[in-house]
Amino acid sequence: MSVFGASGETKCAIGLMSGTSMDGVDAAMIYTDGVSVDRLGPSVTVPYSAAMQAAIKEAMATAATLGGKEDAPADIRLLEQDLTDFHAEAVFELLSITGQNPESVDVIGMHGQTVAHRPERGWTWQLGDGGRLAGRTGIAVVNDFRAADMLAGGEGAPLVPLYHAALLNRKRDHDTIAVLNIGGVANVSWVSFGADGEDPNIIAFDTGPGNAMLNDWAEIHTGLNYDKDGVLAARGLVHEEVIMGFMATPYFDESPPKSLDRDDFSIQTVRGLSAEDGAACLTDCIVESVVAAQSHFPSPPDTWYICGGGAHNQTLMRRLHRRLPVQINRVEVLGWRGDALEAEAFAYLAVRSLRGLALSLPSTTGCRAPCTGGFHHQPTGTRPFYR
């Protein structure tokens, strides 16, 4: 039987995503049976306040010193409550767009805010209280998507590739495609379709740094928390010796599946450079790590599609155009919503979790077998349970 599963009842699902760029919470509604995507509902982004961003950064710094999330201090637990309530506000803002009631939604998929990802130690940590969110919204919630995969020997990431494949199955113009998401960390889904009725071949992994280093550098040197339109990098010079030293990092030669924490790479790479040159080099570090990722594909993709915050960085996109051997486009040319894509994915995965379908594959995370997952919470009267 296909790992995608058989068709089922279409459900209305909301996905919530707050990435390692810490911009805010993306909320998106889709209608799906967890196999195919029937249609898309509204989407919205609710930005974090500066105070919330600062609290998350402090939690990340603390999490880096801990042996696991069980050691969480009280201030991180309080932050988790605040973040959960913020996610609830995003749900209600999304519902207000169409005037829908919570009763019209079957499930919420809540990714949570990652503060640490340590696959080599067998743990990952996303802040978000699924039970509290279910109680606040009156809607069933699935969260903690990554735990079961890690228990099954996987990296716990990336989890979006099955959604990429579902959308490509719905509409595509090539049979072998790479979808590159440039968030705080960059990750790629390589998807190749064969004969009709066969599961596509899917390989996924984190390619290297995404916006995180560039954002940190821009904030230090400009006061803005990202390099808007890549203007800072466009004014700088690339130091080839910096790029060569960066690309000597063993991670890039490691075979996938593989995944990264936001802070596995740091701005120490460009220490001592001017603001402009540092931004130019960090941008090229992203580009060259994507170029290197091609060596891990079974065959070259016919085309690349780009999403995530990095897709808005014009300098980064120009350099990707120069360095990748085939056509690249933003995912919007397929009719996808690049800024809502990951939120949509966790709505899709929530429905798959309700049905007990696989969320990850050995070729996407390294789990021993196709693996379902998720922690289920009912609004009232039902104990949560793991899939």
Residue type, 138: G
Contact by Cβ (8 Å): 327, 178: no
Q: How confident is residue 66, by pLDDT bands cut at 50, 70 and 90?
A: confident
CB atoms within 10 A of CB 49: 10
Evaluate if residue 89 carries a pLDDT over 70.
yes
Q: How confident is residue 69, by pLDDT bands cut at 50, 70 and 90?
A: confident
State the DSSP code for 360.
B
Cα separation of 96 and 270, whole Å? 45
The encoded tokens of residue 182 equal 């440039």
What dotted CATH number matches 11-156+342-386? 3.30.420.40
Which pLDDT tens digit goes with each residue over 166-202? 999 998 989 999 999 999 999 999 999 987 778 999 9
Q: Where are the domains of the chain?
A: 11-156+342-386, 172-334
Evaluate if residue 3 carries a pLDDT over 80.
no
Q: How confident is residue 289, by pLDDT bands cut at 50, 70 and 90?
A: very high
Which pLDDT tens digit goes with each residue over 14-39? 999 998 778 899 999 999 999 999 99
User: What is the residue whose two structure tokens read 């996905």?
Assistant: 15
Dihedral (CA of 148, 46, 342, 357) sign: positive
Helices (H), the chain: 50-63, 74-98, 130-137, 147-151, 161-170, 211-222, 231-234, 240-247, 275-293, 314-323, 341-354, 362-365
Evaluate if residue 385 carries a pLDDT over 60.
no
Looking at the DSSP bridge assignments, the partners of residue 192 are 176, 201
Exposed, middle or buried, 239 (CB in 10 Å: 0-12/13-18/19+)? middle
pLDDT score at 387: 41
Average pLDDT over residues 311-335: 97
The encoded tokens of residue 89 equal 């506000």
Average pLDDT over residues 342-349: 98
Write b or e for each residue in 163-176: b if 16 or more Cβ atoms lie within 10 A of its Cβ, otherwise e: bbbbbbbeebebeb
Ranges 157-166, 192-201, 279-288: which has the least confidence? 192-201
Q: Is the peptide bond before 158 cis (omega within 30 degrees of 0)?
A: yes
pTM for this predicted structure: 0.95
Higher pLDDT, 216 or 19: 216
Average pLDDT over residues 51-80: 90
Return the percent helix, strand and coil in the chain, to nearest 5: 40, 20, 35
- Which of 1, 60, 3 has the alpha carbon at shortest distance from 363? 3
* Long-range pairs for 253-258: beta carbons < 8 A, 24 or more residues apart: 255/296, 256/203, 256/204, 256/205, 256/296, 256/366, 257/154, 257/155, 257/204, 257/205, 257/362, 257/363, 257/364, 257/365, 257/366, 258/155, 258/205, 258/206, 258/366
Average pLDDT over residues 356-377: 97
Contact by Cβ (8 Å): 129, 84: yes
Give the percent of the chain with pLDDT over 70: 98
Angle in degrees, CA 4, 370, 129, rounded to 5? 90
Distance of CA 287 to the CA centre of its chain: 18
Q: Give me the torsion for CA of 52, 125, 204, 254, rounded to 10°.
A: 110
3 state SS of 278: helix
- Averaged confidence pLDDT in the chain: 94
The encoded tokens of residue 7 equal 């068709």
Evaluate if residue 243 carries a pLDDT over 90.
yes
Beta-carbon contacts of 223 under 8 Å, excluding residues fewer than 6 positions away, are none
DSSP state letters, 331-343: GGGGT--TTTHHH
Evaluate if residue 350 carries a pLDDT over 90.
yes
Which pLDDT tens digit goes with each residue over 103-132? 999 999 999 999 999 998 888 999 999 999
pLDDT score at 225: 86
Pairing of strands 107-118, 11-18: parallel
Which pLDDT tens digit goes with each residue over 294-317? 999 999 999 999 999 999 999 999
pLDDT score at 378: 94
- Which of 308, 224, 265, 276 has the alpha carbon at shortest distance from 53? 224
Ranges 294-298, 346-350, 383-387: which has the least confidence? 383-387
Evaluate if residue 100 carries a pLDDT over 60.
yes
pLDDT score at 247: 98
- Which of 370, 317, 311 has the alpha carbon at shortest distance from 337? 311
What dotted CATH number matches 172-334? 3.30.420.40
